[in-house]
Amino acid sequence: MNSKQVFGIVILIAGVIMLCGSFYIKNQVLQGRMQISSAQGKVDSANSIFSLTPETQSVGKVFTGSAQSQIDAGSAQANYYAQMAQWLQIGGIILIIAGGAIFLFARRKK
């Protein structure tokens, strides 16, 4: 096995690792989004309870305001990691194709 074939295998393995990492991140983001959705439902129900009069609305905002800001921050973080997982997946696929091509073409020249 020559050095080009080894390089192709290394690139291929790096692509597979990136692809597996992207699937793991996507799974974690999905679980986080489910938790965010559950928390958002609880905040929405609390807001609906406090929305009976204008006075209770301001009281409700005090109780649910910090929770809503944490939900918004969590949602932004989930979006960031989802985008990172997408780029890892694209990069992994490209490296798998490139590594396989390098391996095959390096083998073919002999």
End-to-end CA distance of the chain: 10
Q: What percent of the chain has pLDDT over 90?
A: 65
Q: Is residue 40 over pLDDT 60?
A: yes
User: Phi-psi category of 63—alpha, beta or left, where left has phi over 0 and alpha has psi -120 to 50?
Assistant: alpha
pTM above 0.85, yes or no: no
Residue 75 near residue 36 (C-beta atoms within 8 A):
yes
Q: Quote the CA–CA distance of 79 and 24 in Å, as a whole number.
A: 15
